[in-house]
A and B are shown apart, each in its own frame.
Chain A
Amino acid sequence: MMSFTVLIVVLPFLMFLFLGLMDSKLKPAVAGLLGTIGLATVAILSYITAYLYFFQVGKVEHVWQPITALNFNWLQVTEKLHIDLGVLLDPISVVMLLVVSTVSLMVHIFSLGYMHGEKGFQRYYALLSLFSFSMLGLVVATNIFQMYIFWELVGVSSYSLIGFYYTKPSAVAASKKAFIVTRFADMFFLIGILVLSYYTGTFSFAELCNPTGPVLGTTIGDTFMGWSVVSWAMMLIFMGGAGKSAMLPFHIWLPDAMEGPTPVSALIHAATMVVAGVFLVARFFPVYYFGAPEVLTIISYIGAVTAIFAAIIACTQTDIKRVLAFSTISQIAFMITSLGVSNYGGEHGLGYMASMFHLFTHAFFKSLLFLGAGAVIHAVHSNEMKDMGGLRKFLPITNITFLIACLSIAGIPPFSGFFSKDEIMVAAFEKDKIIFGILYFTAGLTAFYMFRLYYRIFWGESDKHYHHTPHEGGLNSMTIPLIFLALLTFVIGFIPFGKFVSSNGEPFETSVNWLVASLSVGVGVVGILIATVMYLKKNSKPETMEAALKPLYKASYHKFWFDEAWLFATKQIVFARISKPIAWFDRHIVDGFMNALSTATNWTSRKIKVVQSGEIQDYALAFFVGALTIAAMVLFL
C-alpha cells in the first residue's frame, strides 16, 4: 500500500527532464511555477507518507518497523551480487523525506522572487528538481549501492548549482573545488562499501544493520593492522560521509560553495545535502555500535573538534554567507558528535535520537537563516557586513524571522534549537565530559557569532546611507517562506521526537535534564550578551578585542590556513613530488620505448626500400637466382 511513495522520487526526475529538455520554449514564470507545483506535489506525498507511516502502519507491537515499500532488481551481476533499487521507509528516512521536501518547496517558492529575471531561470529550476530527486532517492535507499549512486548524483547537482553563475571565475573554481573534494572523500566511501560487502556478501541495509542477524557475526576474526575489517570498512565509509558533511579535514569546500545562488545554499549546503553524512552514520548506526565501536569514538572526537574549530572561524568572517557556512559546519559536527556518543537501544540511544532531532530542527532554522540572508543580499546587493547595518527599518519581516532563527540556533527556549541541542548536550554529558566541555564552549560561541551577524546586519550603523533604499515589499514569494519557516522553528521543538525516532525502534520519553538545560541556556545568554555589548551600537570594542587576541584573530580570519595546507599538500607534495615524476616516467620511459620501436622500424624500412627499384629486370634476375638456388638445394642437399 505504500508503493505510491516511489512517486516522491520519480516526480522530481520527470520534472527535471521536462524542464531540462524544454530548452527555452517556456516563459520563465511558467517554468518556475511548474517546478514549484511539482515539488509541492512531492511535499504533499511526503506528508501523506509520514502520516501513514507514523500513525497507521509504522508501529508493530510498540516498535517502529522498517518497511520496504518497493524493491526491484536493477542489475543482476551474478546470483549473489545484484544491485537493487527501492524505497525503504523507517523513522529516519521518513523524517528526511519531510525535511527535504519541505525545505525544497520553501526554496522553490523563495527562488521565484529571488531569482526573478536571472539568466537561466529554467535551468535553475531544472537543477533544483534534479537535486531534489537525488536527495530523495538517497534517503529512501534500500541498499548501500543505491545510496552511493544517489550520493554521487547529489554531488553532481550540487556541482552544477554552485557553478550556476558559470561566467564568474570564482563560482567555477568553487564548484570544481566542491566536486573534487567530495569526490576525493567518496573514493574512500566506495572502497569502504566494497570492503564491507565483500566480507558480508550483501549490500542491503536490512541485512547489514540487523544487530542479531548473521552478517555482523560472520566477519569477526578477520583483522587488518589491529582493527577488524568491519571497523576499517566503517571508517572508510565515514570518511565519505565526512566529505559530504564537511567534517575536518574535508570542510574546505563548503565555505566556497557559497558562490552559488543563496537559495541553493539554503537547500543544499545547509539543510539537506550536507547532512547526508549524518544520515549515513545514522543509517549504519547498529553496525558502528556493534561492529566498530572504536570508529564511533573517533567520530565523536572528529565531530567535537570540527564543532569548535568552525565556530571559532565563524566569529571573524565578514561575508555573511560564510559565517552561516561555518555555522553549518559547526552544527553538523554537533549531530555527528551526538551519534558518536550515543548508545544503542531505547533511551540509552539518546544521542542517536538527539542527532536526528537536531538534523530536523537545524534544517528548518538554518534554511530560514540562509533565506533571510538571501533576502538581505537581494536588498543591498552585497555579501559583506560592512555594506549593511540598520536594516531592521527596511526589512521588518526578515528582521523578525532572522532573529527567531538566531535565537533558535543559540539554544534559547522555546525555540526548536534549544530542545534538540539540549538533548545532544545531555547525551554528551552522560558519555564523555571532555566532549561535553567542547560542545558547551561551542554553544556559547555559536550564540556569540550568530548575534554578531544579526546585529551587524540589522543594527550597528543605524544611520547608514544606501544608494537604493532596501525594501522587501510586504507579503510575497520571498517573505512567505520566511514566515512559514519561522513558524516551524517555533513549533517543531515541542515534538516528542523520542517517540518517533530511536536507535532500535523502541519509542521512549525524553526528560529534561534541568542541570544541563540551565547550563546551556546560560552560556547561550552570555554569548548573546557579549555580542550585544560589542555590536549593538557601533563602537571600538571589537577593534580592542581584535588587537588583544591578535594571533588567534588572524588564525581564525584565515580559517587556520587549512586551504593553504591543502594547496601545499596537493601542489607541493602530490603534484610536484609524485605526479611529476610519474608524468616524466610516462613521457620518457613508457612513451620513449614505443617511440624507439617506431623509429627503429622507420630507419630499417628506409634502408631496405632501395631493393624495390622499379626495374623489372632486377626483379627477374633476383627471381632467377632464387629459382636456381632452390633447384641447387633440391639437387645437392
Chain B
Amino acid sequence: MTTIPLEAYLVISTLMFFTGVYGFLARRNMLTILMSLELMLNAADINFAAFNRYLYPGQQDGMFFTLFAIGIAAAETAVAIAIIINIYRNLKNISVDEVNKMKF
C-alpha cells in the first residue's frame, strides 16, 4: 500500500484555510462568516493530526489538541450563534456591515 505523503494533507489544509480566510473577509452574512471560521479551525486541526502522525508517531499530543480544538469550536459556535440570533432580533438582519456601531 502506497502511503499518502504529508504534503497532500498540507495542501488540503492550506486550501481549506485560505478558503476560510476569503470567506471571512468577503462574505456579508454572519452565518457564512461563522462557517468560514470553522473551515480555518478545521484546517488547523488537520495540520495537528497530520504532523503528529508523520513526525512523532509514538506520541498523542497533536491528537489531543485536535480533540480540544473541536470541543472548543463547538462551544464557540454556540456562543456565536446566540449572539447572531440576538442581533437578528434587534436589527432584523444578520449582515455584518450593519453592525458597525462600535467605533469612536
CB-defined contacts of B103 to chain A, threshold 8 Å: 612-614
User: Which residues of B in the span 23-79 have a Cβ within 8 Å of any Cβ on A?
Assistant: 24-25
Interface check B100, CB cutoff 8 A: yes
A615 to B24, alpha carbons, bound, how many Å?
12
Give which listed residue, B24, B100, B101, B104, contacts A609 with CB less than 8 A: B104
Q: Is the CB of A615 within 8 A of B104?
A: no
Q: Is the CB of B100 within 8 A of A615?
A: yes
Interface check B102, CB cutoff 8 A: yes
Which residue of chain B is the closest to A617 with respect to CB atoms?
B25
Interface check A593, CB cutoff 8 A: no
Q: Is the CB of A614 within 8 A of B102?
A: yes
A620 to B24, alpha carbons, bound, how many Å?
8
Q: Mark B81-104, 1 if CB is under 8 A from A, else 0.
A: 000000000000000110111111
Q: Is the CB of B24 within 8 A of A617?
A: yes
CB-defined contacts of A621 to chain B, threshold 8 Å: 25
Interface check B21, CB cutoff 8 A: yes
Interface check A575, CB cutoff 8 A: no
A617 to B24, alpha carbons, bound, how many Å?
7
Q: Mark A603-618, 1 if CB is under 8 A from B, else 0.
A: 0000001001111110
CB-defined contacts of B101 to chain A, threshold 8 Å: 614
Give which listed residue, A612, A613, A617, A624, contacts B96 with CB less than 8 A: A617
User: Which residues of A in the span 586-637 have a Cβ within 8 Å of any Cβ on B?
Assistant: 609, 612-617, 620-621, 624
Q: Is the CB of B25 within 8 A of A612?
A: no
Q: Is the CB of B96 within 8 A of A616?
A: yes
Q: Is the CB of B100 within 8 A of A614?
A: yes
Q: Which residue, of B24, B102, B104, has the highest number of chain A Cβ atoms within 10 A? A: B104
Which residue of chain B is the closest to A609 with respect to CB atoms?
B104
**Interface size, chain A (Cβ < 8 Å):** 10
CB-defined contacts of B24 to chain A, threshold 8 Å: 617, 620
Measured between C-beta atoms, what is the minimum distance from A627 to chain B in Å?
Answer: 10
Q: Which residue, of A613, A615, A617, A621, has the highest number of chain B Cβ atoms within 10 A? A: A617
CB-defined contacts of A620 to chain B, threshold 8 Å: 24-25
Q: Is the CB of B25 within 8 A of A624?
A: yes
Which residue of chain A is the closest to B97 with respect to CB atoms?
A615
Interface of A is mostly: helix
CB-defined contacts of A614 to chain B, threshold 8 Å: 99-103
Measured between C-beta atoms, what is the minimum distance from A291 to chain B in Å?
Answer: 72
CB-defined contacts of A609 to chain B, threshold 8 Å: 104
CB-defined contacts of B100 to chain A, threshold 8 Å: 613-616
Which residue of chain B is the closest to A616 with respect to CB atoms?
B96
CB-defined contacts of B96 to chain A, threshold 8 Å: 615-617
Q: Is the CB of A616 within 8 A of B99?
A: yes
CB-defined contacts of B102 to chain A, threshold 8 Å: 614
CB-defined contacts of A612 to chain B, threshold 8 Å: 103-104
CB-defined contacts of B104 to chain A, threshold 8 Å: 609, 612
CB-defined contacts of B25 to chain A, threshold 8 Å: 617, 620-621, 624
Which residue of chain B is the closest to A605 with respect to CB atoms?
B104
Measured between C-beta atoms, what is the minimum distance from A188 to chain B in Å?
Answer: 58
Q: Mark A542-568, 1 if CB is under 8 A from B, else 0.
A: 000000000000000000000000000
Measured between C-beta atoms, what is the minimum distance from A99 to chain B in Å?
Answer: 75
Measured between C-beta atoms, what is the minimum distance from B13 to chain A in Å?
Answer: 16
A67 to B25, alpha carbons, bound, how many Å?
95
Q: Which residue, of A613, A615, A616, A621, has the highest number of chain B Cβ atoms within 10 A? A: A616
A609 to B103, alpha carbons, bound, how many Å?
9
A624 to B96, alpha carbons, bound, how many Å?
18
User: Which residues of A in the span 450-466 have a Cβ within 8 Å of any Cβ on B?
Assistant: none
Measured between C-beta atoms, what is the minimum distance from A488 to chain B in Å?
Answer: 84
A617 to B26, alpha carbons, bound, how many Å?
8
A370 to B103, alpha carbons, bound, how many Å?
78
A614 to B24, alpha carbons, bound, how many Å?
16
Which residue of chain A is the closest to B102 with respect to CB atoms?
A614
CB-defined contacts of A617 to chain B, threshold 8 Å: 24-25, 96-97
Which residue of chain A is the closest to B27 with respect to CB atoms?
A617
Which residue of chain A is the closest to B104 with respect to CB atoms?
A609
A613 to B101, alpha carbons, bound, how many Å?
9
A624 to B21, alpha carbons, bound, how many Å?
9
Which residue of chain A is the closest to B103 with respect to CB atoms?
A614
CB-defined contacts of A615 to chain B, threshold 8 Å: 96-97, 100
CB-defined contacts of A616 to chain B, threshold 8 Å: 96, 99-100
Measured between C-beta atoms, what is the minimum distance from B44 to chain A in Å?
Answer: 14
Which residue of chain A is the closest to B30 with respect to CB atoms?
A616
Measured between C-beta atoms, what is the minimum distance from A296 to chain B in Å?
Answer: 75
A315 to B31, alpha carbons, bound, how many Å?
105
CB-defined contacts of B97 to chain A, threshold 8 Å: 615, 617
Which residue of chain B is the closest to A621 with respect to CB atoms?
B25
A613 to B103, alpha carbons, bound, how many Å?
6
Which residue of chain A is the closest to B28 with respect to CB atoms?
A617
Q: Which residue, of A612, A614, A620, has the highest number of chain B Cβ atoms within 10 A? A: A614
Measured between C-beta atoms, what is the minimum distance from B91 to chain A in Å?
Answer: 14
Which residue of chain A is the closest to B99 with respect to CB atoms?
A616
A609 to B24, alpha carbons, bound, how many Å?
24
Which residue of chain A is the closest to B100 with respect to CB atoms?
A614
CB-defined contacts of B99 to chain A, threshold 8 Å: 614, 616
A168 to B101, alpha carbons, bound, how many Å?
63
Measured between C-beta atoms, what is the minimum distance from B10 to chain A in Å?
Answer: 15
A314 to B71, alpha carbons, bound, how many Å?
105
Measured between C-beta atoms, what is the minimum distance from A626 to chain B in Å?
Answer: 13
A616 to B101, alpha carbons, bound, how many Å?
10
A484 to B21, alpha carbons, bound, how many Å?
108
25 contacts between A and B (CB under 8 A): A609-B104, A612-B103, A612-B104, A613-B100, A613-B103, A614-B99, A614-B100, A614-B101, A614-B102, A614-B103, A615-B96, A615-B97, A615-B100, A616-B96, A616-B99, A616-B100, A617-B24, A617-B25, A617-B96, A617-B97, A620-B24, A620-B25, A621-B25, A624-B21, A624-B25
Mark A residues whose CB is within 8 Å of B. 609, 612-617, 620-621, 624
Which 7 pairs across A and B sit closest by C-beta, in order of nearness?
Answer: A614-B100, A614-B103, A609-B104, A612-B103, A615-B100, A612-B104, A614-B102
Mark B residues whose CB is within 8 Å of A. 21, 24-25, 96-97, 99-104
19 further interface pairs, Cβ-Cβ under 8 Å (given A614-B100, A614-B103, A617-B24): A609-B104, A612-B103, A612-B104, A613-B100, A613-B103, A614-B99, A614-B101, A614-B102, A615-B97, A615-B100, A616-B96, A616-B100, A617-B96, A617-B97, A620-B24, A620-B25, A621-B25, A624-B21, A624-B25
